[in-house]
Structure 1
Amino acid sequence: MAIVRKFQMTIFLSQKDFFENIRRSFKNKTLIDNNGISYLALDDVLEILEYDLKGGNARFRFATDGSEFLSLPRSGGIARREDVNFRIDPLITDQGKLYVSLRSINRLFNVDVSANLVKSQVFIRQPALFFITFKGDTLRSLTKLLNTTVNKLLALNKNLKEPIPAGIRLRIPTTQPNSPTVKGNTKKSSVRIKQTDKAPTIIALGTTLIGTRYQFGAAPYPRSKRFDCSSYLQYIFGKNGVALPRTSRAQATVGKRIGQRDIEPGDIIFFRRPRYSDNRIGHCGVDIGNGRMLNTYSSPPGVTITRWKDPYWLSRYITASEIL
């Protein structure tokens, strides 16, 4: 017989993001303890971590934070992150609300999460330092989930071997920022716009939106009047007849990969982001020349022009794509 207990908790979020460390608290959130496994309401988790639900189908609910898509199972315990399937605890329902286990939150959202029932507190740290294993995990599946290599995973977890036990905490092999590979040029040079009529109009539209507020995982602009980095690019390219996927990770698969020295106005540039430790692409912008890009991040500034050829951005550079 299931033993279910409910607790009213305060959730404390500690988060690294861009240039700041963020600490927030959320009171009166329900935690369910179901036979020793703790669950939080899925809606609360999505709100706290700034994910937006994007509909679904008969098998999944879809959610995104602008970096990548998650597919949350309507039944069973197989979730999907972009193109990778992985196990979680099945979601449970209480009084019409869905609840997700703490260890599944770790695997789904790249956060460390723990609960103190005595003090009525839940602690969420983003990015995660650890990844909790489930039955069926393999070295191959873990490296795909964490965007890393077997060698890097084993270097931090020396006793790890297959078959991998369930319930162990693996250290995540976070890729450190790169050393800058393109030096900034303090002298302005002439800007060569790509040989297409689309690049200037895309840049012009993007510039008219400077100051538009930022929202992580933003809903479509006409409804939300907000952008995150990938929805902003999707909007300004889309208005000029160039269809882009919704997430930054998916956008990086479009077009032709180019070297950092070959970037021109109209090309899209991709970066790591501090809130993720699983080495994913987490930020993007469109080059406008002279080492600058149009992009958006926390308000203020929202949509802004940023010099990407400075040490902060160069150290987080991943790749660039020629779309036009």
Structure 2
Amino acid sequence: MRALIVAALLLSLSACLGGGSIRPDPKNDATRREIVLDALGQVGRPYRYGGTTPSGFDCSGLVQYVFAQSGVKLPRTTRQQHADGRVVDMDDAVPGDLLFYSFSGHGIDHVAIYLGDDEAVHAPATGRNVIVASVHLKFWRQHFVDAVRVLP
């Protein structure tokens, strides 16, 4: 099943990055593909508060780890990661962009990696595992704050 998800997302990723009148940087395309593949490779790993490795991730630890695997250095916390890029409209989000959420009502406190095709990888909470979820699920929509592009 995971292989089918990966194949479908790769197909949508190549379509998302290859169209339009402005041609993205091919190196960026490759980096985005690596990020998507590595994020998908972490699905099923356990959530661990403060976790930054495949033995257990929190949300920002997952993002930092996945991007580092592609040579992209990001800060550690969700708020720092949010400040590290530029906000883009969700309709313009591309695979590898970051999606930020607020559950406390006191600023950014969750981040996920956008996969394209309206899906994102999350390290959601204690007692759960890394998941793929639709950005259109009511739970995620209610808490969504920003889409942020950290890659050029």
Coarse TM-score class (shorter-chain normalised): 0.7 to 0.9
Q: Aligned partners of 2:67 and 2:12: how far apart in 1?
A: 24
Higher RCO (CA 8 Å, separation ≥ 6 residues): 2
> Over aligned residues, Cα RMSD in angstroms?
1.9
What is the CA-CA distance between 1:295 and the residue it aligns to? 1.2
Which runs of 5 or more structure 2 residues have no equivalent in the other structure?
Answer: 1-10, 19-23
Q: Aligned partners of 1:268 and 1:305: how far apart in 2?
A: 14
**Structure 2 equivalent of residue 306 of structure 1:** 133
**Structure 1 equivalent of residue 116 of structure 2:** 289
Q: Select the structure of larger CA radius of gyration.
A: 1
Q: Aligned partners of 1:271 and 1:231: how far apart in 2?
A: 15
Which runs of 5 or more structure 1 residues have no equivalent in the other structure?
Answer: 1-188
CA-to-aligned-CA distance 1:273-313 (integer Å, 9 cap, x gap): 2xx24x21011111111110011113554111011122221
**Structure 1 equivalent of residue 42 of structure 2:** 209
Q: Provide TM-score, normalisation by structure 1.
A: 0.38
| Equivalent of residue 92 in structure 2, options 256, 262, 265 | 262
What is the CA-CA distance between 1:193 and the residue it aligns to? 3.5
> Aligned ranges for residues 198-237 of structure 1 at < 5 Å?
198-218=31-51, 220-221=52-53, 225-237=55-67
Q: Aligned partners of 2:73 and 2:79: how far apart in 1?
A: 15
Q: Aligned partners of 1:299 and 1:204: how far apart in 2?
A: 24
Aligned CA distance change for structure 1 residues 284 and 258 (closer, same or farther; 3 Å): same
Runs of 4+ in 1 over 4 A off after TM superposition: none
Return the letter of the residue paired with 1:240: S
Identity %: 26
Higher strand proportion: 1
Instruction: Indicate conservation of the 8 Å contact 2:46/2:127, yes or no.
Output: yes
Q: Aligned partners of 2:150 and 2:17: how far apart in 1?
A: 13
Return the letter of the residue paired with 2:62: Y
Instruction: Indicate conservation of the 8 Å contact 2:49/2:126, yes or no.
Output: no
Q: Aligned partners of 2:71 and 2:127: how far apart in 1?
A: 29
Q: Provide TM-score, normalisation by structure 2.
A: 0.78
Higher helix proportion: 2
